[in-house]
Amino acid sequence: MKIQAALWFWFVSSLPAQTSLKDQLITHYKTSAEFTIAVANAMPAENYGFRPNPEEMSYGELMAHIGAYVFLGCQAASGVRVPEFPGKITEWAKAQDQVEIDKATALPFLTGAFAFCNKAIESMAPESLEKRPANAGNLTGFEWLWQYFTHTAHHRGQAEVYLRLKGIQPPEYVF
């Protein structure tokens, strides 16, 4: 009987720990933040105005776009209010084609967006991932977070193309 109990204890203790969906989101948002900020850092400051063609956002605008939507998606999912955007970002949000975003503006904004989002996700009750937040449309908390996780990946990939067009090797992919 002692051998059976010891084997059972060994079997149960060797099983991988169950990780909640919320914990997985926290982990992957942190990884996405680190990788996105590495991509943002890879472009030299003098190239933040670069746009492959007139129809595309500049690199700086692309970083601001990612940050703005990380803030807004995480606010929609969690209900945590977004802090006021810094002056130049607010100007850009109102007249995107007329305000360039430099590296000194983009990086702190992007870093702040991910920090806000991680705190917002951590503050969410696990069951809120399955509910539709008030005043946030028809998506569940999880769907809002998934949508903007995917949105970030899409635009980060676009940023990597910008880097390659400038002859810069993007950071190695991390997930």
pTM of the model: 0.86
Q: Report pLDDT digits (tens) over 82-113.
A: 999 999 999 998 886 678 999 999 999 999 99
pLDDT confidence of residue 2:
53
Residue 3 reports pLDDT greater than 60: no
Read off the pLDDT of each residue in 123-132 and give the average, rounded to a whole number. 91
From residue 150, give the alpha-carbon distance in Å to each of 44, 142, 161. Answer: 25, 12, 17
Confidence band, pLDDT 50/70/90 cuts, at residue 72: very high
| Residue at 35: amino acid letter | F
pLDDT confidence of residue 134:
76
Query: pLDDT higher for 4 or 28?
Result: 28
Alpha-carbon span 121 to 21, nearest angstrom: 11
Share of the chain above pLDDT 90, in %: 74
Residue 162 reports pLDDT greater than 80: yes
The alpha carbons of the chain give a radius of gyration, in whole angstroms, of 20
pLDDT confidence of residue 21:
87
Domains of the chain: residue spans and CATH: 19-43+58-165 (1.20.120.450)
pLDDT confidence of residue 171:
96
Q: Is the Cβ–Cβ distance between 114 and 37 less than 8 Å?
A: yes
Phi, psi of 71 (to 5 degrees): -55, -50
Read off the pLDDT of each residue in 144-171 and give the average, rounded to a whole number. 96
Share of the chain above pLDDT 70, in %: 89
Q: Is the Cβ–Cβ distance between 68 and 92 less than 8 Å?
A: no
From residue 101, give the alpha-carbon distance in Å to each of 18, 42, 144. Answer: 42, 16, 26
Q: How many CB atoms lie within 10 A of CB 122?
A: 14
Confidence band, pLDDT 50/70/90 cuts, at residue 17: low
From residue 163, give the alpha-carbon distance in Å to each of 97, 119, 170. Answer: 21, 30, 6
Query: Among all chains, which residue has been given the structure tokens 């969906």?
Result: 21
